[in-house]
Structure 1
């Protein structure tokens, strides 16, 4: 049996919430512990937002409960009417996450047969203590930046390998299937990296830096272009004198593929290859024409592949990492 960090933080925050609520002489101190259990989330920002929304939800619930219990009395019918009004109101104001917790606290108004400032203050103190300790526990989060940097290195190595293989397997039909599988593995790894990047961003309470999210999104878009390039390569047979230019382009890209490469030099090389093909003799057969058209399409997709990184680099230079 494995006990995770979130489980430990949940247990500690619930215990401390109950102890503190009891030491203040609040009614139903166990409720503070339950609130804390429900408020420990995976990231700092979600924990903070959950706490704020639940306080707002309790305020809304208290207003509606006051109207219902004052008019209909402290009974089950009044509580049912309260639910009929509160649930749609909470959904409308996007406070649905606090429906259950707030309604449990409202039942304490019902049990106490009281809606004085004393009992209302009691419920708000319970909520504040519960969400407060949950947030306090979530202030500590393992640093995921090291993992993100390691994932970047793995992803770039996977890109380099696929690009080298594409150059190596040019005009060797049948081997693309293995590259398609590698592309799928690459995309799955990028998706995992995106999830970690989102968690990393949500754990920055002050900073709004989304560099890693943008980085993994950029690589995911590039992986889509890479798969499109493979589909085209699978459909054409490049003329031997033309294969050299494409192979050199792919190999150079693989050699220089890195986080800090803005892609401008590769874009220049792509333009040079375009110029070489413009000066070649026109195709003489239908097959040559179709292959030349596919080759042009391949260069267009490859250019798009590099432009994705160039645009990302430009955005980072303008906004800062």
Structure 2
């Protein structure tokens, strides 16, 4: 939710809450507006969850305050005792989001020096109106799917750059200088995309799909593996026929890297390279032995890289809600 939209929602929710409180002739109607301000949050899930917490917290706060004020009076010291009882209980029952607004409602009882049923109902209605109106305005959230798709493509482009730099490193024997910068960009984009995907998921109250959450987690897992492979690349001392073949596979993967590519054919190519390693002659020098060992580990890591994507693809295709998303691509 953009700052502009959040500002508009807060302003409208506040005014409407105060207007409704005045319409029902409630005392301290401005408090309904303050509660609305506090209840306009970033996602539908957060708004609904917080509203429920605050309503329950209101019942708890008013119950404690009613007993204390009825038996011991309305002094400041008694308000302090109320806080000593209410605050830990609110945390105990995970209702702490209501501590501030509910305590403001309790001060209305102090000022009126009354715990009459009509006044208690007044405070409950103030909370219900403020939180309810905030939920009403937060039912509209802009669809982030277009933005998620753009981020998805950007992440795939960065991963393609990494794989092509792997090819360059294996075929030319030099680690590209911009590889570290590429990884930094990739991590930043993955973190941003995951936050947006979680926000979009929390804005789905009924027909929920965690497709993008799963997708970006899958790419995060692959990115972590690529960084590990990048470290191994620095230890290869000589260029061999096998290194060029593996480099070619990295380049081929970069060309075919796509959300809908399951990686099945690429896995077959890796198996063929694995067979080639088994059948090739033994290394003739220590340098060749060490390089071949690292290449073999790179090949195994690359196989794992592809299997991460295949696992994701299988999960998507066998989960009805995710399969619909996959088929719509």
- Superposition deviation, residue 56 in structure 1: 0.6
Aligned equivalents of 1:285, 1:252: Cα separation in 2:
30
**Are the counterparts in 2 of residues 65 and 106 from structure 1 also a CA contact under 8 Å?**
yes
The whole-number CA distance in structure 2 between the counterparts of 1:32 and 1:174 is: 65
User: Matched residue of 2:281: which SS?
Assistant: coil
SS of the equivalent of 2:232 reads: helix
Partner of 1:29: 29
The residue that corresponds to 2:46 in the other structure is: 46
Determine if the alignment matches structure 1 residue 134 to structure 2 residue 167: no
CA RMSD for the aligned pairs? 1.5
Q: Does the 8 Å contact 1:180/1:230 carry over to 2?
A: no
| Preserved contact between residue 171 and residue 247 of structure 2 (Cα < 8 Å) | no
Higher mean C-alpha displacement, 265-274 vs 48-57: 265-274
Query: 1:161 Cα deviation (Å)?
Result: 2.3
Query: What is aligned with 2:263?
Result: 263
> How far, CA to CA, are the matches of 1:95 and 1:73 in structure 2?
26
The Cα shift of 1:104 comes to 0.5
Deviations 1:89-111 (A, max 9, x none): 00111111110011000111111
SS of the residue 1:107 aligns to: helix
Please list every run of 5 or more consecutive structure 2 residues that lacks an aligned counterpart in the other structure: 323-329
Residue 78 of structure 2 aligns to a residue in which SS? Answer: helix
Alignment partner, residue 97 of structure 1: 97
C-alpha distance in structure 2 between counterparts of 1:174 and 1:63, whole Å:
72
Which residue number corresponds to residue 227 of structure 1? 227
Q: Post-superposition shift, 1:171? A: 4.7
Secondary structure in 2 aligned to 1:4?
helix
1:299 is aligned to 299
CA distance, structure 2, for counterparts of residue 172 and residue 80 of structure 1: 74
Superposition map of 1:235-250 within 5 A: 235-250=235-250
Counterpart CA distance in 1 for 2:137 and 2:114 is 33
Maintained 8 Å contact 1:176/1:234: no
Q: For residue 114 of structure 1, give the secondary structure of its aligned residue in structure 2.
A: coil
Counterpart position of 2:277: 277
Q: Is 1:158 paired with 2:131?
A: no
In structure 2, C-alpha distance between the alignment counterparts of 1:176 and 1:185, rounded to whole Å: 15
Matched residues in 2 for 1:80 and 1:244: separation?
Answer: 75
With the length of structure 1 as denominator, give the TM-score of the two structures: 0.96
Deviations 1:197-231 (A, max 9, x none): 11111111112211111111111111111111111
The runs of 4+ residues in structure 1 deviating greater than 2 Å are 171-177, 237-240
Please name the residue that 2:71 is paired with.
71
CA apart distance, 1:5: 1.0
How far 1:292 sits from its partner (Å)?
Answer: 1.2
Whole-angstrom CA distance in 2 between matches of 1:203 and 1:6: 14
Report how far residue 173 of structure 1 moved: 4.6
1:3 Cα deviation after fit = 6.4
| Pairwise CA distance, 1:291 | 1.1
Give 1:266 shift.
Answer: 1.4
Supply the distance in 2 between the matched residues of 1:213 and 1:151 (Cα, whole angstroms).
Answer: 12
Q: What's the CA shift string for 1:84-143, capped at 9, x where partnerless?
A: 000000011111111001100011111111212211110111001101111111111111
Using the TM superposition, give the Cα deviation of residue 238 of structure 1 relative to its aligned residue in structure 2, in angstroms.
4.6
- 1:155-234 to 2 correspondence within 5 Å? 155-234=155-234
In 1, Cα distance between equivalents of 2:143 and 2:166? 37
Residue aligning to 2:326: none
Are the equivalent residues in 2 in contact too, given 1:176–1:230 (CA < 8 A)? no
Q: Contact 1:26–1:122 at 8 Å: present in 2 too? A: yes
Q: How far is 1:174 from its partner?
A: 4.5
TM-score (norm 2): 0.94
SS in structure 2 of the partner of residue 177 of structure 1: coil
Who is 2:288 aligned against? Answer: 288
